Structure 1
Amino acid sequence: MASHQSTTRGRAPSKPPEIPPFWHKLNAFFLFPFQSKPLVYALFLSLCALAVTVSPLIAFFTLLGILLATARYSFKVAAMASMGVMRSADYDSTASDPGWTYLPWKFLGVLVVHGLVIGFMARASEGLADLGSLVSSLLIPATLMVLIQSCSLRSALNPAELLRAMAAVGWPYLLLCVFMLLLSMGMPMAWALLVPLAPKTLIAPVLMFVVVYFSWVTASMIGYVMFQNHQKLDIDLVKEPEEAVSGTGQGRPENPVAKLARERDAEVATLIREGQVREAYDFAYDWQRVNPDSLADQRRYHRVLLLTDKKDTLVWFTQKYIQSLLKERKGQDALKAHAATLDKVPDLVLESAELTLELAHLAWKSLDHKHATALLKGFDKRYPRHPAIPQAYELISRILHQGLGRTDQALTVYRVLKERYPQHASTQEVGWLLRDHTGEAVATAPLRSA
């Protein structure tokens, strides 16, 4: 470790390399499915389509299985590319997120919600339905980005998260939508060209290969756009831009810190895949103990902790990890870390009232009302006589009234707040917020707004 640290000490920070825009890399996207591993996998999935001629029932389950496998690999391709891993040969040495497995179903859930909204709009007028379809199409790339980052259906339906992804990409987002439209149009054109040339017995595999091919081209492009904007999207790379973009092997060497993190991630991922969770834990623990300020080591240790039964250690370390993330302004990662621990330890209580309130504010701003409510539940009992209690009541009132539409419950909270803290600024803020429902005369708006 000492020798590693000596290689980076005293080095002047260099300007991050320019990553070419995605429209300069179109050839790479179209060639990705022809890399050895995805090509073999695509051929295998295509040949499975031969079973569709056996019976309608077998055809249904075969097509469902092929499409599910294609979608899962598509999300993996995009997720790996977003972290700078552009070659499929490097996938085995890079840790993957188990949550990626369920992304096809969550994306299907998003499409169902979009369809229901468009159907509702169609009842009003055909023009509104067309507008809804257009908006849905424009949201698809952002939806995929949010799903890959968060693995959360709720986040993928959250307008704030979608706008954040679109804003991170900027005006090229519209160009990305255009290229995705062209790819969707290219699939039937490829079918029309290839089907007349294919033997009758191979028509089904040819059609399926085209579906798989265009799916993985699209995934490669989406992942690259995320990689190109990784800083704005708060994505931690496992391969530095020089190596991932150059493709020549003659660029500058990979950053030693990033390389070390990638190698450690791969080592731990291999141990976990082999069922050696105890060994993975020992390595992850030692690394974060030696490098207590390394977010990469903390993230790895937290993920391994989630796989163990060390709940007390998990609760203690989660709080330290969240504080480190907030210090680096990685609020969304902090919320994800808390949510993952909360799933493992439903009675999780953070020791710090300030930390709890800060996370609740972040969840509220992300429109994650369920998470914010879970953080604030029983706040006054968990932190008795704490000066932040009125602020927690204020936030609860906002969530109930503005977020969940439960104004009656918000009024109940306001009455308690008014009784216990009649002169507090938070009481005045909630009184102004609920002024149309309390019947109280409020002369002016408070000077501050949460």
Structure 2
Amino acid sequence: MDKQHCHYHQAQPATWHCAPCERHFGDCCVPLNADVPEYAPSCPLCRGQLRYLGAANSAEPFWERLPKFFAYALQPGPLMFAGALALASLFMPSVLVFWLALLSIATKYLHSVIEQASLGSNDAPSLAEAFDGSSFGAFLRQLGVFGVAMVLLWLAADFESPPLFWSVNVALVLVLPASIIRLALDKSLGAALSPAEVGQVIAAMGWRYLILCLFLFILWQSPSYLAWLLGFGLPRVVLLPVLALLFGYFGVVMCAMMGYAVFQYQGALGYVVAGDDAAQGFPEAEWRRRKALAEAEVRVKEGQGGAAVEILSSALRQDPEDLRLNERYHQLLYVLNERGDCLAHLPGYLALACRSNPQLAANAFLNARQLQADFLPDDPLICERIAGVLLDRHKTREGLSLLRNLHQRFPQYPHGARAYLLAARGFAEGLGQADAAGKLLAFIRQRYPESPLLGEVEALERVLARMAAQGS
């Protein structure tokens, strides 16, 4: 099954679907509220109920997680399981009842691994989960599946046709993993033997099911080959528990892989599970911001600019000091050429941006100049800070326009000397106009004779004098 992606962000997997709008949404467009776990998100377009897709589109392919499956089997539960098999092979008496009990426990534990991995959990089940009343029933059902497979193989051999025998043999090898998956999840012998139920597992994975079978076959054969290699140097009394330990370990790896394959293809199999790696919700304030930004972006991409403006405006009434919301609101008004609303929003936004991020304030000022050529903030400190940013960006003329006649526009501004010293540097360094810079420095001496910045004024005058001497 092909993975679905967010309609508005093609690199993001889809986690929600709106049937009326025929739109898939990712976590990028539908954030969750961590403070309200029962919150059910609605469609950003029609406000209808969304269908949760779980991790059907975000699960990592099982063939890319091979190292994680081997690490999965190194957790305490699987290691205790493998260790128990090794000890049993060494010390348990040859009594049929004891071995049937051991096989029951082993079957139940391996089924628990498949079941837990199918939920996307990265934590292996504890060994205690194998000791419940259903373990013997799970063993009998699994024995029934293997018994049917053996009967089919026996019937194929009875025809005395090698091609038929090997065809049935290969078919059983390919079908058994899907049958075991069905048995572990549905706990029903009928489901494990049903061609329709088993076929659904195979159809959900498609040709990738062959990859799963190939990996499982290699893993199943691995303990035998390792034991054969070790057999040349180990006595039988040591080799037998080592072999049991290896079979236990590789059995858990195989079952973890089968369970995760179900998790990966949960959509086609009718499961909806988020898994341990699912996106977490956000605190209330952060959720409101992300929700407004995401819904506004969706509306813009649908060509509904007016609706996007209203969404952001409503969000700003709740969080007027949120810089990201103000920035996006300003950008949207500017792009939509909403001249009046954009200019009306600027005073508050410029004050907020100057405190938090003067670079954004400078961007907003340049946008404002496109809407109104003579636009000037009505706060001298904002003028000075934006001018400093613009001068650093080598937008000298735009920066100097903010400082022109500052003492006349704001006669009570206490930092006039600092602002004009900044302007003098702009004339000298940005425009190379030493005369204009010198006049400003002289003006600072005259108007602000008590300023603590006179030392910097003198230093800049010396620099200008050296520049003038070199030029002559």
TM-score category of the 2 structures, normalised to the smaller one: 0.3 to 0.5
Greater helix share, structure number:
1
Tell me the TM-score normalized by structure 1: 0.48
Larger radius of gyration: 2
